[in-house]
Amino acid sequence: MTSTFLPPAEWAPHDAVWIGFPGNPEEWPAGQAEAQRNVAAFADAVHAGGKGERVELIARSDADAETAQKLVGPGVNVSVIPFGDIWLRDTGPIVVSDGTSLRARSFGFNGWGGKYVMAGDEIVPETLSERADLPFDANDWILEGGAIDGDGTGLAVTTAQCLLHPNRNAGVLQEDIERWLASDLGIDRLLWLGQGLMNDHTDGHVDNLARFVAPGVLAIPEPAGSSDPNRDVYADAARRARAFGVEVTTLPSPGRFEQDGEIVPASYMNFYIGNAAVVVPTYGRPNDDAAVRAIGALFPDREAVGVDAQGVIRGGGSFHCCSQQLPAL
């Protein structure tokens, strides 16, 4: 049975957004201060001087909260939850709506297939739900929020690399995933893409590859030249999306981006759509400005803001990954 509760599209109005603040030296053995500045700037951009939604910046300790408070502007709320990792898109609850009420739904989380298991992540969904005074439903199958993206109509996109990976829900079939998404999140149409970005430790989260930008309209990067390590991934994603019947719009790619000699899954697709601003991660690449302009053109009622993400990407993700919106009714 398909749930009557489903996640609203990200461009629908928000009451608030939860954002994780970096503070774990194991995750950022180098560059933690830069990552903190990146995330603070992201929080300020979403708040937009009071024009955006309420911003709840979550730190893992009192000391980190003190650092965060010094970095953000007035109006950003800072509080503490002793979490393990900042990627609240994946560890936090997914808030669903039936048009008249909201509920928070959580899923099993195993540290992206056992790669990064950190104490404290298990308390995040229920703690955030309680703070927001939301009814809370726990589901035991493994799903991270960054593994799906929807347009608010029951249509969503994912990658087979992630949702069918044996390190998540071993032995399940595609039809099992589709049935669970329908019953738990109201998703009745699911577009399966193939692989995610190279060296993505999430095993190919779709929010780094393809994002809905309007009902039935999916944004996918186009390669930045022949050296782009994800050129074949982008082409395959676009082919699958068009064959499924959704409209595809293309956006720039950062191209080949390395840190410490390794290719990093940097992506402009990890943008966040707030009430007043759409915030685009930038990486000091030639396509940064073009990406901000192109994404801004898709959301003409919002200000498009590019924010440096070169520090936070060292932890494996960017601004969409470290945030989770609380929809408004």
Residue 297 dihedral angles phi and psi, to the nearest 5°? -65, -25
**Is 162 among the catalytic positions?**
no
Calculated CA dihedral for residues 160, 257, 83, 66, nearest 10 degrees:
-160
Residue 88 CA to residue 127 CA, distance in Å, equals 12
Residue 314 CA to residue 88 CA, distance in Å, equals 16
Catalytic residue among 321, 322, 325, 326: 321
Which two tokens mark 129?
Answer: 């739900």
HEC assignment per residue over the chain: CCCCCECCCCCCCEEEEEEECCCCCCCCCCCHHHHHHHHHHHHHHHHHHHCCCEEEEEECCHHHHHHHHHHCCCCCEEEECCCCCCCHHHHCCEEEECCCCEEEEEEECCHHHHCCCCCCHHHHHHHHHHHCCCCEEEEEEECCHHHCEECCCCEEEEEHHHHCCCCCCCCCCHHHHHHHHHHHHCCCEEEEECCCCCCCCCCCCHHHCCEEEECCEEEEECCCCCCCCCHHHHHHHHHHHHHHCCEEEEECCCCCCEECCEECCCCHHHCEECCCEEEEEECCCCCHHHHHHHHHHHCCCCEEEEEECCCHHHHCCCCCCCEEEEECC
Greatest CA separation found in the chain? Answer: 51
Which residues are known to be catalytic?
Answer: 321
